[in-house]
A = this chain, B = another copy of it.
Amino acid sequence: MSQQPADLLPAAALPLSDLYAPVAADVEASAAIFRDELISDQGFISDLCAHVARFHGKRLRPALLLLAARACGDVRPEHHVLAAVVEMVHIATLVHDDVLDEADIRRRSATVNRLWGNERAVLLGDYLISHAFHLCSSLPTPQAARMIAHMANTVCEGELMQVFHRENLALREEEYLDIISRKTASLIGVCGALGAIYAGAPREQVDALRQFGLAVGVAFQITDDLLDLTGDEAEVGKSLGRDVAKGKLTLPLIHFLRSQEDEPRARLTAALRSADDQRYREVARLIAASNSIEYAQSAAERHVASAVQALEALPPSAARSALEAMAAFVLARRL
């Protein structure tokens, strides 16, 4: 992925720990709240929760919420709680996604469904989402809970739309963007907005940070979908080819089917409909010989550029710079 605009490259080359420096202690504080919320009197439930702690990864969402707060003003105790909440919603969706995708590997660890079966994975996802709402409702006013619950409704809609459009080879780009806006970007948009609102930011900055999060989220998902098709399983650390296996049309495929002649289109359609469980390799080979990867990368870049532009509503600060770098990181990521 060598397509990101040159002005974003230096920041993207920074390690994430540098990006998070302005809120490092706050990320830690929210991680402690996350852990405390999941303490259970049932040892085996604690074991399940300890396992999903491996899925935290980059903690992109809590860091974004906390950096948004810092970019607008002070980080407050409510931000620590909310950062734990958004991470918990995120982990809950991963656990259920892995059930739906029949995925075996997540962040180089076995998925919950792989280790303990679908039933525990479904219930553990329910447990995490319920605890996220519980944590959220511990705040003195219901505003954040309303926003979180509304976002969770939207995420579920996006997931349902994705399943509904499975095997739909006529899916249009705007429908794809609607689905990923709901299932992925809505959560990251709420991170930006909540960070700003609880820092007492004016409406204009709240809107800017919501737009920032939404655009980063769309870029993130386009890149994630590209990795699923073209990534290296050992490097990415999770099951790949799941989108093809599950009949999910993603941006390079949509572009290919729209822009190619009949004959290559027929070959891709045949590969997508093949019963071979490694058919995504043939799909990847066909796509690699086209300009559809570049098309999807450019779309991700445009969303990152629009995210960075939204930040102009904020005064310059170390936190704002970190958010800019985070947006660029989304393009550069390999896992």
Interface residues of A (CB under 8 A from B): 40, 42, 44-45, 48, 96, 99-100, 118-120, 122-127, 129-131, 133-134, 136-142, 145-146, 148-150, 152-153, 155-157, 159-161, 163-164
Chain B, Cβ-Cβ closest to A164: B44
Q: Copy number of this protein in the oligomer?
A: 2
Return chain B residues, CB-CB under 8 Å to A124. Answer: 160
The 4 closest A-B pairs by CB, nearest first: A134-B149, A137-B145, A127-B156, A130-B152
Chain B, Cβ-Cβ closest to A89: B130
Supply 28 A–B pairs (Cβ within 8 Å), ascending by A. A42-B160, A44-B160, A44-B164, A48-B160, A96-B126, A99-B122, A100-B122, A120-B160, A120-B163, A123-B156, A123-B159, A126-B129, A126-B156, A130-B149, A131-B149, A131-B153, A133-B133, A133-B149, A133-B152, A134-B153, A136-B145, A137-B137, A137-B142, A137-B146, A138-B142, A141-B142, A142-B142, A142-B145
Say whether B123 contacts A150, CB under 8 Å: no
The A interface is mostly helix, strand or loop, or mixed, namely: helix
Candidates B40, B142, B145, B163; contact of A157 at CB < 8 Å: B40
- A118–B122 CA distance with the chains assembled, in angstroms: 10
Say whether A161 contacts B42, CB under 8 Å: yes
Chain B, Cβ-Cβ closest to A159: B123
